[in-house]
Chain A
Amino acid sequence: MRLYAAVAAGGFRRYATYRTATAAGVFTNTVFGFIGAYTYIALWEQRPDLGGYDLSQALTYVWLGQALLMTCAMMGGGFEDELMERIRTGDVAIDLYRPVDLQLWWMASDLGRAGFHLLGRGIVPMALGALAFDLALPTRPTVWLAFLFSVFLGVVVSFAVRYLVALSAFWLLDGAGVGQIAFLAGLFFSGMLLPLTLFPGALGEIARALPWSSLLQVPADVFLERHTGWGLLGAFAFQAGWAAALLALGRLLQTVATRRVVVQGG
């Protein structure tokens, strides 16, 4: 455990070293937060209570999206580009020489990264959003704790999906195509563009049942106290279920990959 804690700490510090990039990222998140907020205001004035959110909740949703965009890596990015490159060049062999589990290693590192992004890229845009708009912020500390736990589960699901994307490079060598599919799926099915509760019928049902809804839709609804009591446990179970299933799939794929596929390069 101490090893993986050290790996996570390293993942945190790796991103923390690039301060200018962080500042630029915060700026971008804030700008997109304002754009999103005014778009939602226009939308909600036409259709109040869209998706069951009032305007204040809708604006909160926008700013949560910006705050969690990097944390839950909704558009991909982070470790999987690095891992795919390591698979492509054969550097992954080095990872396999170590007495560590590949999946746990990368997960710890990604959790460290997410921790940094939550603090470095999440708090400032959220605070600025709260200053500029009337947001529906939870008052009870337990709701904040539940939200943080839900974000944690969201990060794990996000990791598990991206790990599968990265492992595809063992077979495809160039995982860019898979990465782009994951990017589009993440952008849409996480609820980043529009809350998934807006979508009617079968599409809505499917979108809400897919793993990506764990990345934003579920944590946001926990934050907005739309999941309470048993419903909250249900939301956690939904996220944890996807996390467990996808991690297990990743583990299976990892076993097959390391056993069967030639590690590239001499």
Chain B
Amino acid sequence: MDGDSEGFIELDGIEKVFDVRRRAGLLRRERHQVRAVDGLSFRVARGEMVGYIGPNGAGKSTTIKMLTGILTPSAGRLRVAGIDPQRERTRLARRIGVVFGQRTTLWWDLPLIDSYRLVHRMYRIPDKRYQENLDRCVELLELGELLDVPVRQLSLGQRMRGDIAAALLHDPEVLYLDEPTIGLDVISKARVREFLRDLNAERRTTVLLTTHDLTDIEQLCQRVMVIDHGRLVYDGALTGLHEVGESERTLVVDLERELPPVELAGARVVKVEGPRQWLAFPASASAAPLVARIAAEYPLVDLSVREPDIESVIARMLSRRQIPEPAGPTPL
């Protein structure tokens, strides 16, 4: 029983409350409760690729830990592929893959291939299937020359690709990715993203992606969920998030010399530093006409466009969201 196709991952009113004890004096300790997740409900269909974002401490990792059965929800109902994760953590573990950008599942002292052989046994993957998957990962993630290298000698990007392969050898139905491109260079990032896109398209692997890199989301996810203070504050397309957040991109222009702030319709100068100026414009607008006009009207040396980071988009969205709401008791 995999549950219905509508809800491959299902959360209904999930809460997680931590008891935290804090030193309040020399001997006295104060107990208080922290609501890491506060009434979270959502559904992810099979084969969906969903961005799961929010500021630090919003409850993302706590959610993933509950989805994998490591943490038990304080309240609510949770199902992944029809399984209650906390009750059948080991059974579920055979069907999910987890990748952490900042942690490794590989054996540090041993060659990469040894970790894969272990995964082969660990998930009891049929030999033929294992070989097929390994070959595919080796080819697409360009691991061929790395298989005999001890993991501790791999670069961050190589290790990350190695980790992604390790998470996929057993054909997981769900893949949880936590910052899979953190610290990678541009080429490695592109390679990882392309691989994930193909994986989702060909195998219909359901992917839940946590990241601070907006480009990850833009290139991979049709749907974004934003969590803040343990609550879902946005669930929809990325473009919608930009609209709601009225997010802005930044055009950084280097002029030949120091000049008064550039005056241009559709953009405003937010910062001037010597010959360099920062212009903000709506994320939904195209940069091309702006660039053309600046190049025509000003002595332009160089320019670059910066995407809004997730934090500022969310921060904007959250600040706007609070205006229409009647003032109630502020959550912790």
Contacts and interface: CB of A to CB of B under 8 A. Distances in A.
Interface in A151-209: none
Interface stretch (A5-13, A65-73, A221-229): A5-13
A97 B170 CA distance: 13
Contact of B89 (A91, A96, A262): A96
A90 B118 CA distance: 22
B110 interface: yes
B195 interface: no
B96 interface: yes
A3 B61 CA distance: 29
A2 B110 contact: no
Contacts of A101: 90
A13 B110 CA distance: 8
A10 B116 CA distance: 12
Given A3-B122, A10-B118, A258-B70, A94 B103 contact: yes
A173 to B, nearest CB: 13
A90 B100 CA distance: 12
Given A14-B107, A94-B103, A259-B72, A99 B18 contact: no
Q: Which of B70, B71, B100, B103 has the most CB of A within 10 A?
A: B70
What is the size category of the interface that chain A forms with chain B? 20 to 34
Contacts of A93: 65, 70, 103
Given A10-B107, A266-B61, A99 B90 contact: yes
Contacts of B69: 96
A207 to B, nearest CB: 36
Interface string B285-310: 00000000000000000000000000
Given A99-B93, A263-B65, A6 B117 contact: yes
Interface in B109-128: 109-110, 114, 117-118, 121-124
Interface in B164-188: none
A151 B123 CA distance: 32
9 contacts: A13-B114, A14-B107, A93-B65, A96-B70, A97-B105, A99-B94, A100-B90, A262-B18, A265-B61
